[in-house]
């Protein structure tokens, strides 16, 4: 089943101990769409500026990504510049230019309105809610990402939007900030009262954890000797996760577990190279081989 994503398509400037790029395609919706398209057709809703060329657009070509919802506005693309620390665990934002993103009002093409799987990447909570309203009926699965900025600045809007989603997918510190609980199990219980019935906590080098009424499922991060650039890892995780579920067309304990694994697989590939470089050349066979490697990494017999 097709999967709708709304979020940013952007240019990034990245510095890590492994190198530096001045301008490369980035944005949560870009990583998400490319990662998810290995599993299911993706409908993309985002905004770009006139500096987003036909050449740039090629990142979506030859994949199951529909870009009718990619609006092109006067002005420049969202631009983010960041620098990672020696061990890639910390980053500083050097520049954020919203540009065309400042006035983004997501508008769903008619054919997107019947999407059954919806991912609301990290944008203003009222825009996320507005996208959900444009979807006909209740989607089979709606998931949402957010960040400290919205938790702090627009808490009421975020609370309202959370009432309408099934899965909240955020990192440890956002989980703790939103719930005001350090312990992740207690945090999950708190968040369940806000609306989502499932919490997926992205924990960077420590992997990811899913909590729902059935219990907890943990998946480690894939051990890599030379991660190059963590940018987009969380969005690629979300893409692999939601893409797998949309492709399976079924949300249950077994598919959620596999979705966690495929999310981790996609996230792990993304960090191997700068920006989207690794996902550009990624093959389905490599995805399945790494998923089997995850089994080796975690499975035991009592």
User: In whole angstroms, how close is the CB of 212 to a second copy at the nearest point?
Assistant: 12
Q: What is the DSSP letter of 167?
A: E
Binding pattern to a second copy, positions 101-140, x when CB under 8 A? Answer: ----------------------------------------
* Interaction pattern, residues 255-284, with a second copy; x per rule: CB under 8 A: --xx-xx-----------------------
Q: Distance (Å, rounded) from C-alpha 46 to C-alpha 69? A: 7
As measured in angstroms, the least distance from the Cβ of 89 to a second copy is 8
d(CA 196, CA 213): 11
CB-nearer residue toward a second copy: 19 or 107: 19
Number of chain positions touching a second copy (CB under 8 A): 40
- The tokens describing 73, both together, are 């506005």
Least CB distance to a second copy at residue 129 (A)? 31
Choose the stretch contacting a second copy; rule: CB under 8 A; options: 6-14, 99-107, 229-237, 254-262.
254-262
Q: Contact at 8 Å (CB) between 46 and 107?
A: no
The binding track of 51-90 with respect to a second copy, each residue x by CB under 8 A or -, is: -----------------------------------xx-x-
Specify the residue for token string 């009592």: 302
| Separation between Cα atoms, residue 76 and residue 82, nearest integer Å | 18
What's the token pair of residue 284?
A: 């389905």
| DSSP character at residue 87 | T
Site for a second copy in 212-251 (CB under 8 A): 215-220, 223-227
Going through the chain in order, the beta strands assigned E by DSSP cover 3-6, 10-16, 19-26, 42-48, 65-66, 70-72, 78-84, 91-97, 117-120, 141-144, 167-171, 198-202, 208-212, 215-219
Identify the burial level of 121 via C-beta atoms within 10 angstroms of its C-beta, where 0-12 means exposed, 13-18 middle and 19 or more buried. Answer: buried
At closest approach, how far in Å is the CB of 248 from a second copy?
Answer: 12
Q: Which is nearer to a second copy, 102 or 216 (CB)?
A: 216
Instruction: State which residue, 97 or 172, has the beta carbon closest to a second copy.
Output: 172
Binding map of a second copy across residues 181-210, x = CB under 8 A, - = no contact: -xxxxx----------------x--xx-x-
The DSSP output letter for 220 is P
Q: What is the DSSP string of 127-144?
A: HHHHHHHHSSS--SEEEE
Residues near a second copy (CB under 8 A) are 86-87, 89, 182-186, 203, 206-207, 209, 211, 215-220, 223-227, 254, 257-258, 260-261, 288, 291-292, 295-302
């Amino acid at each position: 089943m097709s999967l709708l994503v709304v979020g940013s398509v952007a240019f990034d400037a990245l510095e890590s101990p492994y190198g530096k790029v001045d301008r490369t395609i980035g944005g949560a919706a870009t990583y998400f769409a490319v990662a998810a398209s290995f599993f299911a057709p993706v409908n993309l809703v985002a905004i770009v500026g006139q500096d987003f060329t036909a050449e740039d657009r090629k990142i979506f070509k030859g994949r199951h990504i529909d870009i009718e919802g990619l609006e092109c506005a006067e002005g420049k693309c969202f631009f983010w510049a960041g620098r990672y620390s020696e061990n890639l665990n910390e980053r500083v934002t050097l520049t954020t230019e919203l540009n065309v993103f400042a006035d983004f009002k997501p508008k769903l093409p008619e054919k997107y309105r019947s999407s059954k799987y919806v991912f609301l990447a990290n944008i203003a909570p009222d825009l996320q809610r507005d996208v959900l309203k444009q979807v006909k009926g209740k989607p089979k699965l709606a998931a949402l990402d957010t960040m400290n900025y919205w938790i702090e600045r627009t808490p009421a809007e975020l609370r309202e939007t959370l009432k309408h989603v099934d899965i909240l997918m955020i990192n440890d510190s956002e989980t703790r900030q939103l719930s005001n609980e350090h312990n992740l199990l207690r945090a999950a219980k708190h968040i369940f009262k806000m609306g989502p019935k499932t919490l997926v906590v992205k924990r960077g080098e420590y992997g990811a954890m899913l909590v729902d009424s059935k219990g907890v499922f943990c998946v480690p991060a894939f051990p890599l000797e030379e991660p190059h650039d963590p940018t987009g890892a969380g969005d690629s995780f979300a893409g692999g996760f939601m893409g797998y579920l949309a492709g399976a067309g079924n949300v249950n304990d077994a598919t959620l577990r596999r979705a966690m694994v495929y999310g981790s697989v996609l996230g792990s590939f993304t960090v191997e190279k700068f920006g989207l470089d690794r996902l550009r050349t990624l093959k389905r066979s490599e995805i399945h081989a790494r998923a089997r490697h995850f089994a080796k990494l975690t499975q035991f017999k009592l």
